[in-house]
Amino acid sequence: MTADTFPPPPPPEEPLSTPLEWAPPAWPPVPPRLRHHVRNALVLLALFASSLTAGGLVGAKLVSSTPTASTSPSTSNSQPSVAAPGGNAGNPNGSGNTGGSTSQSSIAARVDQAVVDITATLGGRSGTVAGTGMVISPSGLVLTNNHVIEGSATISVQIDGTGPAYSATVVGDDPTADIALLQIKGVSGLATVPLGDSSSVAVGDPVLALGNALGQGGTPAEASGTVTAVNQTITAGDETGSSETLQGLLQIDANIQPGDSGGPLVNASGQVIGIDTAAQVSGRFGPQQTATTEAYAIPINAAMAIVHQIESGVATSTVHIGQGALLGVEVATGASASGAAVVGVQAGSPAASAGVAAGDVIVGLSGQSIGSSAGLRSAMQAHNPGDHVTLTWVDASGTQHSATVQLAVGPPA
């Protein structure tokens, strides 16, 4: 199959001097998420998960990316801005061109029946996140981005945008690689996506991205393009100064939308070669303009290596097995004197029941010394919901406290 099987992608728009947030101005603002949720979404390039609330959309934040090791014909030395999810663009046409050639449609049809729309209800707050996943086993294992389901209390999926919504649980995740594995409950004999070999992907290869564009559901939207670089490293940071890095990514020029996170990137043979994960802001979002034409995908080989680690049931320093455990604190990401500085506590959470308050500093968790907010998140990765842990903290007056709490379901902080 030749490269001209796919319709040529639209020319990229001229970037704005100041990238904008992805939030339709006509929709009312809503209260922001707890900072640790925002931080995780931004840092891990949660660019295509669409965050919804009862009052409207959570406005997207802006982060920066630095592509490296490019094999593209031309590479810019500038650091483009990247938008994180939290807002849908007001584009009613979905992700890219859904009315492409017969060849494009037939290739999409090979994958569509194993693509799922994901809706994750955020723990402890009124809000949901919409994203995409792909079925990789007949028993209902689903591969997606970690940022799609991170911090969720409940997860539901709909296969190929039709039929009933099924409940799903987290089998395991690797936040540092932005990979999560889900299990759909009560299903069997499902169609699965055909997996390709991402090590053979080359610059110029035609690709098709599929996903739950703008969280609208229905038949997966399509966005065609080509591979413009391989082995990319992207560093993203948020306004708090935190940063995280994803490595070895595929760079593409497909027209990706919020909600496409976790969706399959397919080659001309209809095989999945990557997971749509990140994008660069290249224009103003709204009814008159479209989404970015520079995006990034996690190679499927790297993703499946993490899946196999999760399936083994053996946790590592980065891979967590089972659902996340919630302590219920919002911690500052900047440096503190010693420990994780608490800036907020979720009502009704384990931390709240222990008496932890804003202004306190967490210094220990079950005998492990905590020297920073990152240290707390790392320590929480080793625990599961229902675990009893001993929490040690110092209050604003300098008095040390200790209490045993039972962790709930939620993100590891």
Backbone conformation region of residue 235, classed left if phi is above 0, alpha if psi is from -120 to 50, else beta: beta
Domains and CATH numbers, the chain: 3-312 (2.40.10.120), 324-409 (2.30.42.10)
- Per-residue confidence (pLDDT) for residue 406, from 0 to 100: 92
Rounded-to-10 torsion of CA 2, 198, 86, 335: -150
Q: What is the rounded CA–CA span in Å between residue 50 and residue 257? A: 9
CA angle 378, 409, 379 (to 5 degrees): 15
**Which residues are marked as active site?**
147, 178, 261
Token readout for 202 is: 């080359």
pLDDT in tens, 307-360: 999 999 998 988 989 877 888 887 876 655 688 888 888 888 899 999 999 999
What is the CA 298 to chain-centroid distance, rounded?
A: 11
Instruction: Output the pLDDT for position 183.
Output: 97
DSSP output for 156-201:
EEEETT-S-EEEEEEEEEETTTTEEEEEETT--S---PPB--GGG-
Half-sphere exposure in the Cβ direction for 84 (13 Å, CA): 26
The pLDDT, as a whole number, for residue 124 is 53
- Considering only CA atoms, which of 244, 247, 234, 46 is closest in space to residue 148? 46
Nearest partner of 152 among 265, 15, 283, 51, judged by Cα:
51
Dmax of the chain from CA atoms? 70
- CA–CA gap between residue 116 and residue 183 (Å, rounded): 12
CA angle 84, 185, 412 (to 5 degrees): 40
Runs of H (alpha helix) within 231-372: 300-312, 350-354
Compute CA distances 351 → 39, 48, 222, 230, 387, whole Å.
Answer: 20, 31, 44, 44, 13
Distance of alpha carbon 406 from alpha carbon 386, whole angstroms? 6
- pLDDT at position 234 is 86
pLDDT, tens only, 218-268: 889 999 999 999 999 986 543 334 456 899 999 999 988 889 999 999 999
Residue 187 one-letter amino acid = V
Tell me, letter by letter, the H, E, C secondary structure of 189-233.
Answer: CCCCCCECCHHHCCCCCEEEEEECHHHCCCCCEEEEEEEEEEEEE
Res 291: pLDDT: 47
Low-confidence residues of the chain: pLDDT under 50: 1-4, 12-48, 51-102, 237-242, 282-291
Cα-Cα-Cα-Cα torsion 48, 54, 57, 58, nearest 10 degrees, comes to: -90
Neighbours of 161 (CB within 10 A): 16
Q: 10 Å Cβ neighbour count for 75?
A: 11
Task: Please tell me the distance from the alpha carbon of residue 327 to that of residue 118, in angstroms, as a whole number.
Answer: 25
Q: What is the DSSP letter of 107?
A: H
**Residue 85: strand, helix, or coil:** coil
Alpha-helix residue ranges (DSSP H) falling in 313-372:
350-354
pTM to 2 decimals? 0.70
User: Which tokens sit at 346?
Assistant: 């979720």
SS3 category, 402: strand
